[in-house]
């Protein structure tokens, strides 16, 4: 069974958390290259980070600037960062009350299938929100987890975007828990128009215990990916 070294980064600026991701991502890629010619190859570690970001709009590789509706002055006034990143997808929002999960794993040790990986990430969140009485669904051609697909009330509760190289992943998912959804009015989330955004708090009409939600995410991630979370040991362990 694969082990994932786990660490909760708490509240951390997007760029700082991105640097943490890149360090572990590059380490894992380099290790795979070294293992090719090694007599005694090292079993690649896997990592998983939870984090919550201050207000930030992030632009994926193929994002359209027109999907950011706030002006530069509005971004400044509202203390919202605006950052280009290397994940897939268009523009999205991260902020307090949102649980962001960054799995940095070697899919060669799981299944080398990006499509399957994304569906498994969706399955994790579908199982998580089911524990709170919500029926999460997939929307054809659109990543993430949605509610009431196929109705005029369709709304997204979890966004996803990843980057892979040599079958190593980075970035991940953002589940709206106690998120201030007003910040989504400054963008066209993921470039998808006429579909709403929601959160666990909004759907259940009560503030959520984010630490408990994280435990539920861990449980279902272990089930779906057939892995086990272990305490973070660091790159030199």
- How far apart are alpha carbons 41 and 32 in whole angstroms? 9
Question: Per residue in 121-149, is it b (16+ CB within 10 Å) or e — as a string?
Answer: bbbbbbbbbeeeebebebbeebbbbbbeb
> CB of 25 within 8 A of CB of 170?
yes
- How far apart are alpha carbons 38 and 54 in whole angstroms? 42
* Phi, psi (degrees; rounded to nearest 5) at 192: -105, 115
- How far apart are alpha carbons 57 and 184 in whole angstroms? 9
Q: Looking at 59, 190, 197, 217, which residue is catalytic?
A: 190
Residue 12 CB contacts under 8 Å (≥ 6 apart), including other chains: 20, 51, 52, 53
Residue 152, burial from CB neighbour count under 10 angstroms (0-12, 13-18, 19+):
exposed
* Tokens, residue 43: 């079993």
Residue 227 appears among annotated catalytic residues: no
CA-CA-CA-CA torsion sign (207, 212, 215, 216):
negative
Report, as residue numbers or ranges, the catalytic residues. 190
């Amino acid at each position: 069974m694969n082990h994932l070294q786990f660490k909760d980064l708490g509240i951390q600026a997007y760029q700082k958390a991105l640097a943490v991701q890149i360090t572990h991502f590059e380490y894992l890629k380099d290790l795979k290259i070294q293992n090719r010619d090694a007599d005694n190859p090292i079993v690649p570690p896997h990592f998983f980070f939870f984090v919550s970001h201050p207000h930030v709009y992030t632009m994926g590789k193929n994002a359209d600037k027109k999907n950011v509706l706030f002006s530069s002055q509005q971004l400044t006034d509202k203390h919202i960062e605006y950052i280009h990143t290397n994940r897939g997808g268009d523009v999205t929002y991260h902020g307090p009350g949102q649980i962001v999960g960054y799995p940095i794993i070697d899919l060669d040790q799981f299944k080398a299938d990006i499509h399957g990986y994304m569906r498994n990430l969706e399955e994790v969140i579908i199982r998580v929100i089911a524990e709170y009485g919500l029926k999460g669904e997939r929307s054809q051609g659109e990543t993430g987890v949605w509610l009431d697909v196929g109705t005029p009330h369709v709304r997204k509760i979890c966004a996803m975007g990843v980057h892979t190289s040599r079958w190593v992943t980075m970035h991940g998912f953002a589940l709206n828990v106690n998120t201030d959804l007003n910040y989504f009015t400054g963008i066209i989330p993921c470039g998808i128009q006429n579909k709403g955004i929601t959160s666990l708090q909004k759907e259940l009409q009560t503030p959520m215990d984010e630490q408990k939600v994280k435990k539920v995410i861990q449980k279902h991630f272990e089930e779906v990916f057939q892995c086990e979370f272990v305490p973070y040991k660091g790159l030199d362990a």
